[in-house]
Structure 1
């Protein structure tokens, strides 16, 4: 029973930092109207936490490997909350942005450690389900931010709205400290503590990280441009488009859990991940074709892409930790997360340029190349070989 409380705490911690990292864009209108910032300056400011996150993921993963998940999560959450509150007291938006960058770097502690602690407490037969549940944290955090930050900013000001995620981070730090217990680890040996990237699973991990980065493209292209596409190309109102995307986010969160259960049932993370890559490829192509034909197929395919493209995240994280082993899981998850976030940051400006230059059908067909590459790169055979090696080690006298 304890492991489920730890899962719930890890989910809460991740949702809390997500409300900070991905919720600040909801405050761009307040920055423009209340503080006179241009859209470019406001966008740069709210991007600062994500830049900090990217620079610190691997380092926090290494800290979790060495010092344990509970300490890393609690300290990182506390520092995030304190730095955000301190940033609000600093003069000028440059110093405020620096404070947000440092807070984002501290929030990276939760990304690797919360996944690591969940995987440590659940057996291989339950890890897919557990990680699928944990991976719903981001849409939950974004939902919390979307529901709370704009009205708070409207009634009490920008600073009060930013303070809410900071306070939630501090409360989550206390919750982690009293609930989370580091999972038991096997005895550290020279071979177990060696880098998995130099061992027999090294190429499998590299292919897994690359395939995951490829599959981020349809996820972020669809999420970034869904509302804009429905309004500009299909004639929807912004409110109706936003409502559809919000509902689909819930379906995507459920899809992550179902994908995890699926991987537990078939005793493989990579086989479901490869099929999801195929589905993402198909839905992107259908979206492009539907738009070119000015058909209802475009909206149906967009909805399918929004759901399908997010379901592989938990599978990739689970497989990364399993392949890396208990002494390198944190660092491997940091590498995994870094690759995905870098790809996500590049995808939005790249495909906005393609859309403006060539239109949606061409841009979407280019985006479809990435899940096609993910289909080829997903290391199904490498995962199977690693599982066989693990069994041989367990039964070897």
Structure 2
């Protein structure tokens, strides 16, 4: 039972940081209407935490490999909460963005370490399920943000809305310290210490990282502009739009679990991942077509479908990365995986806000559809069966 409590704690930790890292886009309407920022300026501001995140991911992963998951997660969560609260005291949006950047760097600790601790406590035949459950943390966190941040900003102001995820991070730090136990590790050998990026798995890992980064783009286009699209293009109330997005996040969470179970039963992470990429491609195209033809039912249905389909591959990429990298490199490999994904995520908001502003949603969504198409082509389905090693298999203790 211990490993299930650890899984629940890892999920909670990741959800709290996700409510901050990926929930700030729900404040774009408030930043525009209440603070006079343009769509592009607001998008740059809410991308600041992702910039800090990507600079720190590999370093935090290396720390988890060396010092263990419990210490890294606790320190990172506590530091995130403190820095996020401190950033609210800084004058002006430039300094606020700088504070958000450093808070995002601290939050990177959870991305690598929480996945590593889950993978260490579960055997291969149930690892997809466990990682799928853990990966529900992001849609859960985004759902919490969607349901709470817009009304908090509307009724109490921006500072109160941003303070909520800060407090949640501090509470999660205490929870991790008292619940999490580092998983047992096999004895280190000379071969285990060799970088997986110099061996036979190198090409497969690089293709996996690249494909995963491509598949982040439709996910973040949908998540970043869902509320904004419903409000500006379809005339929805911001609170109602946020509530709908929060409900859809539940479906996205269920989709991640289903994808994990699918991969366990199929004995493959990459086969399901390629099919999900093709599904994401279809939703982007249909969203653009629905908007171009002024068919609200099609555009909104495709948008909501994109928010579900585009998130379901994430756990598969993480699980495969750790399995290929092995227990002594899993933290760093997950850091590399997450860095590539967050580079794509960070670029998505300002790039597509500029495209939407200049050319409208249909063309911007057509460009977004190219990324899952590339991801499907790059997913190393054949390379997985040839190069995959069950290097993170450990003795699982109750």
Q: Deviations over 1:250-274 (max 9, x none)?
A: 2111111111111111111101001
| Residue 189 of structure 1: aligned partner | 189
Distance 1:245 1:81 in 2: 25
Shift of 1:46: 4.0
| Residue 314 of structure 1: aligned partner | 315
Distance 1:272 1:17 in 2: 27
Could you say if the C-alpha distance between residues 290 and 137 of structure 1 is closer, same or farther in structure 2, counting changes exceeding 3 Å?
A: same
2:143 and 2:249 in contact (8 A); partners too: no
Shift of 1:79: 1.7
Q: Deviations over 1:158-180 (max 9, x none)?
A: 54544433332222112111111
| Residue 340 of structure 2: aligned partner | 339
Could you say if the C-alpha distance between residues 197 and 339 of structure 1 is closer, same or farther in structure 2, counting changes exceeding 3 Å?
A: same
Q: Deviations over 1:322-376 (max 9, x none)?
A: 1111111111111111111111222233333334444433333332221111111
| Residue 362 of structure 1: aligned partner | 363
Matched, 1:13 2:13: yes
| Residue 79 of structure 1: aligned partner | 79
Q: Deviations over 1:157-205 (max 9, x none)?
A: 5545444333322221121111111111111112101110111001101
Shift of 1:225: 3.1
| Residue 261 of structure 2: aligned partner | 261
Structure with bigger RCO (C-alpha 8 Å, 6+ apart)? 2
Could you say if the C-alpha distance between residues 142 and 307 of structure 1 is closer, same or farther in structure 2, counting changes exceeding 3 Å?
A: closer
| Residue 284 of structure 1: aligned partner | 284
The CA RMSD measured in Å over matched residues stands at 2.9
| Residue 222 of structure 1: aligned partner | 222
2:216 and 2:345 in contact (8 A); partners too: yes
Deviates more, 1:91-100 or 1:262-271: 91-100
Could you say if the C-alpha distance between residues 324 and 87 of structure 1 is closer, same or farther in structure 2, counting changes exceeding 3 Å?
A: same
Distance 1:95 1:227 in 2: 26
Matched, 1:50 2:50: yes
**TM-score, length of structure 1 as denominator length:** 0.88
Distance 1:301 1:29 in 2: 22
Could you say if the C-alpha distance between residues 299 and 82 of structure 1 is closer, same or farther in structure 2, counting changes exceeding 3 Å?
A: closer
Matched, 1:386 2:387: yes
Q: Secondary structure at the match of 2:191?
A: helix
- Count the aligned residue pairs: 391
Deviates more, 1:219-228 or 1:39-48: 39-48
Structure possessing the higher radius of gyration over alpha carbons: 1
Matched, 1:273 2:273: yes
Shift of 1:281: 1.9
Could you say if the C-alpha distance between residues 254 and 27 of structure 1 is closer, same or farther in structure 2, counting changes exceeding 3 Å?
A: same
Shift of 1:33: 8.0
| Residue 300 of structure 1: aligned partner | 301
Unaligned runs of 5+ in 2: none
Shift of 1:27: 5.0
Distance 1:297 1:141 in 2: 27
| Residue 330 of structure 1: aligned partner | 331
2:132 and 2:259 in contact (8 A); partners too: yes
Distance 2:378 2:185 in 1: 31
Could you say if the C-alpha distance between residues 224 and 159 of structure 1 is closer, same or farther in structure 2, counting changes exceeding 3 Å?
A: closer
2:220 and 2:349 in contact (8 A); partners too: yes
Deviates more, 1:361-370 or 1:1-10: 361-370
Q: Deviations over 1:118-137 (max 9, x none)?
A: 01101111111111111111
Q: Secondary structure at the match of 1:55?
A: helix
Could you say if the C-alpha distance between residues 308 and 58 of structure 1 is closer, same or farther in structure 2, counting changes exceeding 3 Å?
A: same
Q: Deviations over 1:187-246 (max 9, x none)?
A: 111210111011100110100011111111221222233344445555656555444433
Deviates more, 1:259-268 or 1:149-158: 149-158
Matched, 1:69 2:69: yes
Distance 1:89 1:289 in 2: 44
| Residue 100 of structure 1: aligned partner | 100
**TM-score, length of structure 2 as denominator length:** 0.88
Could you say if the C-alpha distance between residues 47 and 308 of structure 1 is closer, same or farther in structure 2, counting changes exceeding 3 Å?
A: closer
